[in-house]
Structure 1
Amino acid sequence: MRTLPVRRLAALLLAGAALAPVLTPALAADLLDEAKARGTLRIACEGTYPPFNYRDEKGQLTGFDVEIGRALAAKLGLKPEFTTTEWSGILAGLQAGKYDVIVNQVAATDKRRETFDFSEPYVISYPQLIVRANETRKLDTAADLAGKKIGVGQGSNYAELAKGIAGAEVRTYPGAPEYLQDLATGRIDAAINDSLLIPYLRAQTKLPVKAGAAIGKPESNAIPFRKGSPKFKQAIDQALAGLKADGSYAKISKQWFERDVSQPPAAR
């Protein structure tokens, strides 16, 4: 058996190592082919984020994102396979290939796009005012809130938003139940939270409050997956478009949020 000189062998090994990063992406199978071969779409979510994804009283995984994930898998002809994991490690798990997608209200930021590809946006969310159910004052803009008391969760993005409203008195609370109670009793004039959470919070607390005007900038959430799978991206985007076209998306959305959350909230 013929052998190569040691120096030549070492040179070839180094050359191969240098080429490996270039060749690997080209040799990797598209994620769509992998999912079709196994017959499943592996979906990650927190499982502790109601009403988006959580376990009901029977221990079954449910919520808006769970139903959207199941519907997407069906459109792709695949069986949904869910994994629940803490938010702190959910993106790292995707990068490590533990699952195919995350359906968990992930904002498609520029920083995240450096590591992952994303579907088209499937949710549009706004910061939104919460006011008393019998409120008759005009509380639609930042100018309307000057001199008003606004309740927000301590340390939340909404606390920072409220602090930027000139002339407003910002009061922070441990969570939504506390500031909604003060809102209902007239101790504050308005509160701010995510537009998607307001119907859920109102139903849970059963307090006489309602959604007010959208305030601040909208955010779009999308579905991340590994880079380099153009067929998979096309399939996911087509599946989302199909759910919207046949009315399935709107039906799921209105069940959880009282409106189609793929669209901006209607003006009030």
Structure 2
Amino acid sequence: MKHIRTSLLAAALLAGVSLAAQAADLLDDVKARGTLRVAVEGTYPPFNFKDEKGQLTGFDVDIAKAIAGKLGVKPEFTTTEWSGILAGLQSGKYDVIVNQVAATDERRKTFDFSAPYVMSYPQLIVRANETRTLRTPADLKGKKIGVGQGSNFADLAKSFDGAEVRTYPGATEYLQDLATGRIDVALNDSLLIPYLKEKTKLPIKAGAPIGKAATNAIPFRKGSPNFKTAIDKALADLMADGTYAKISTKWFERDVSKPIATP
């Protein structure tokens, strides 16, 4: 009987350990470690990239640092190609991805996500001296639209009835044609336009948003409700105390957590 009782006690203790392990929350690991392990591509300006000194910088890098600060830990960055970034998260190589990840229904089957922290739109780009009303698909009938070859924006532009879509290898080429009047408008992600304007130094400006908005969030492995609460609170606090707006304005000239203002 003593042997049986000992065996039962040992089994109960093992079961307790197993349940405790299952109940462990990622927040506990992050706090104990003192670091938030963050994955980014590192080659995706202006979101995350290496500056001229080889230092990792960008909007997402600044946001990740600010979140880690709110959690009371230090950020620890890993750079990895997009093709394997979600698999690395699933295998536990890092805690979160802060890299403009869309929280799709398919991804939610595998990961939990923070509250959205970025709102993005397809947006027209026009010449700096443009005076015509170019806001809707109807306004673009008969107009020449420049887009990147094979991009989602090319598909969107082709859906505009009567528009003439011209595809280019990249943004530099179609923005040059826009500036010189060879095309009427261009189309890209609203978040990239300030960066493209600064990079090219061309006489262009952001036009009207067009098409559906999309939101991006921070993914992490399932089963850590305390961690999700902490991440969401950190984001909310950053927005409440003005830190988020400061970071966003630095990179995009506006608060990208809010709907875009129509020009």
Q: TM-score range by the shorter chain?
A: over 0.9
Task: Quickly say closer, same or farther: Cα 1:173–1:24, change in 2 above 3 A.
Answer: farther
**2:155 paired residue number:** 160
Q: Which residue of 2 aligns with 1:122?
A: 117
Does 2:222 correspond to 1:231?
no
> In the alignment, which residue of structure 2 is the partner of 1:111?
106
Is this contact kept in 2: 1:142–1:166, CA < 8 A? yes
Q: Hey, what's the Cα distance between the residues in 1 that align with 2:137 and 2:63? A: 34
In structure 1, what is the equivalent of residue 7 of structure 2?
Answer: none
Letter in 2 for 1:176: A
Matched, 1:98 2:93: yes
Which structure 2 residues correspond to residues 128-143 of structure 1 after superposition, within 5 A?
Answer: 128-143=123-138
- Is residue 249 of structure 1 aligned with residue 244 of structure 2? yes
SS at match of 1:159: helix
Cα distance in 1 for residues equivalent to 2:135 and 2:255: 21
Instruction: Give the AA of the match of 1:64.
Output: F
Give, as a single letter, the amino acid of the residue that structure 2 aligns with 1:96.
Answer: S
Check 1:98–1:136 CA distance in 2 against 1; reply closer, same or farther (3 A cut). Answer: same
- Residues 24 and 53 of structure 1, relative CA distance in 2, 3 Å threshold: farther
Unaligned runs of 5+ in 2: 1-10
Matched ranges for 1:52-67 at <5 A:
52-67=47-62
Q: Find the aligned partners of 2:22 and 2:102 in 1 and give their Cα distance.
A: 30
Percent pairwise identity: 78
Residue 263 of structure 1 and its aligned partner are, at CA, apart by 0.3
Q: TM-score, normalised by structure 1?
A: 0.91
After superposition, what is the alpha-carbon deviation per residue over 1:181-221, rounded to whole angstroms, capped at 9, x for unaligned? Answer: 00000000000000000000000000000000000100000
Structure 2 match to 1:7: none
Distance in 2 of aligned mates of 1:179 and 1:152: 7
3-state SS of the aligned residue for 2:49?
strand
Decide whether the 8 Å contact of 1:129 with 1:212 is kept in 2: yes
Structure 1: runs of 5 or more not aligned: 1-15
Partner of 1:36: 31
1:193 paired with 2:188, answer yes
Q: Which residue number in structure 2 is paired with residue 48 of structure 1?
A: 43
Aligned-partner Cα distance in 1 for 2:200–2:97: 29
Q: How does 1:78-97 map to 2 (within 5 A)?
A: 78-97=73-92
| 1:202 equivalenced with 2:197 (yes/no) | yes
- Describe how 1:174-193 pairs up with structure 2 within 5 A: 174-193=169-188
How many angstroms apart in 1 are the aligned matches of 2:115 and 2:20?
23
Q: Does 1:217 align with 2:223?
A: no
* Structure 1 equivalent of residue 142 of structure 2: 147
- 2:6 corresponds to which residue? none
Partner of 1:9: none
Give the C-alpha shift of residue 27 in structure 1: 1.7
Structure 1 counterpart of 2:8: none
The structure 1 segments of at least 4 consecutive aligned residues displaced by more than 4 Å after TM superposition are 23-26
- In 2, the alpha carbon distance for the partners of 1:125 and 1:116 equals 21
> What's the TM-score, normalizing by structure 2?
0.92
